[in-house]
Amino acid sequence: MTNRIMPWDQIQLPEAEYNVRLIATDSSIPLYWGKDTAGHCLFIIELQGDHTEQFRKGRASVHGISLDLRGFDVNARQGLVLKLEKHIDKDLFLSLCETLVTSLQPLTDSSTALAVTLTYIQRWKMFMSGRKSRILSAEEVRGLFAELQFLRFLYQGRLSEKAAVDAWVGPEGSHQDFIFGNTAVEIKSVSGKERSTVRISSEDQLETLCDNLFLMIFRLNAIPESDQAASLNALVRLVEQELNDAVAVEELLRRLAAYGYVDIAEYDTPRFVVASRDAYFVEKDFPRLVRSRIPDGIVRTTYEIELEKIAAFKCDITSVVES
């Protein structure tokens, strides 16, 4: 839990129904923070007209968040109410609501606003069913950014979109991040400050049953002023736009959720530039610790490899897929 100021802290507990406070935006769709008699945090979207049928068809249940469509008054207004249950972290709920505020701000039509909201709810449902329903660490953000860059490399003329997404097995719990054909690839990211070593987080990452194993290292520099820089959110949207296969997009969203990603404002920064991407062929003499050679009694290892010492194993990135 962080020390962020919560908008619900400024709202008094109501004696009946709920109290609300209008969110100051340029949006044509009125948005409110709210609190009910039990002290639950609410996010309310005011809709013009009757959207009962659209809500019924697109509604999704999300663990920790209840969703309800209520009539406001005789002027044909309805309110879509998101209520935070006790199981969800309040910080995370605030981030999700802030993302909705940003997404709804340019809209003018209530039906479109409801459709956009229900789409986000579907993504949150996948996210909450994943293993990491929390905000990613800075290291995890860099790691996911690097993995998505390699995913783009695969589907841009090398594998089909569906095959490329299916090859991304890291979010599914595999020891390597990508496996396709008889090739496994472990992806690592290093920041501009980390110039000499790469961290290997387990004895299983550089050992595989595949005939070919590669280590891909992406060096990421945080350069927000660069035109070439992109945030994690921007990169995810780019990948979604580039994929034309609807099945591949759906599978991408599921794996992003399994990784622990959902589109929230926290991932609008930092903005990265890929300074370099280097491929290494992990063969017999490659310096590594592997489970098959570790003495009994040692159950977990983490170590760092000097990049200077593995220069001889560097190969062209195209050999990763041509193998």
pLDDT band at 322 (very low <50, low <70, confident <90, very high): confident
DSSP 30-76: -EEEEEETT--EEEEEEEES--HHHHHHH---BTTEEEEEEEEETTT
Q: How far apart are CA 36 and CA 66, in angstroms?
A: 13
E-assigned strand segments in 160-252: 178-180, 183-191, 197-200, 212-222
Read off the pLDDT of each residue in 247-258 and give the average, rounded to a whole number. 94
With bands split at pLDDT 50, 70 and 90, how would you rate the model's confidence at 250? Answer: very high
* Whole-number pLDDT of residue 49: 94
Structure confidence at residue 60 (pLDDT): 85
Which is more confident, 232 or 195?
232
pLDDT confidence band for 236 (50 / 70 / 90)? very high
pLDDT band at 74 (very low <50, low <70, confident <90, very high): low
Distance between CA atoms of residues 70 and 42, nearest Å: 13
pLDDT tens-digit map of 126-143? 888 766 668 899 999 999
Q: Tens digit of pLDDT for each residue in 169-213?
A: 999 999 999 999 999 999 999 987 667 899 999 999 999 999 999
What is the average pLDDT across 252-279? Answer: 94
Q: Are strands 212-222 and 183-191 parallel, antiparallel or unpaired?
A: parallel
Percent of the residues in the chain that have a pLDDT greater than 70, as a whole number: 96
% of residues, the chain, pLDDT over 90 = 78
- Rounded mean pLDDT of 11-21? 95
Instruction: Over range 302-315, report the average pLDDT.
Output: 96
Residues 6+ apart with CB under 8 A from 306: 196, 197
Q: What is the pLDDT of residues 39-70, one digit of tens each?
A: 999 999 999 999 999 999 999 888 889 999 99
Confidence class for position 231, pLDDT limits 50, 70, 90:
very high
- The pLDDT, as a whole number, for residue 1 is 47
What's the pLDDT score for residue 245?
96
Q: What would the mean pLDDT of 99-103 be, rounded to a whole number?
A: 93
Q: What's CA 105's distance to the chain center, in Å?
A: 22
The span from the CA of 97 to the CA of 95, in Å, is: 5
pLDDT score of 87 more than 70:
no
Mean pLDDT of the chain: 92
pLDDT band at 2 (very low <50, low <70, confident <90, very high): low
What strand order describes the sheet that includes 41-48?
Answer: 18-22, 31-36, 41-48, 77-84, 65-73
Residue 185: which residues within 8 A CB-CB, separation 6 or more?
150, 176, 177, 178, 179, 213, 214, 215, 216, 320
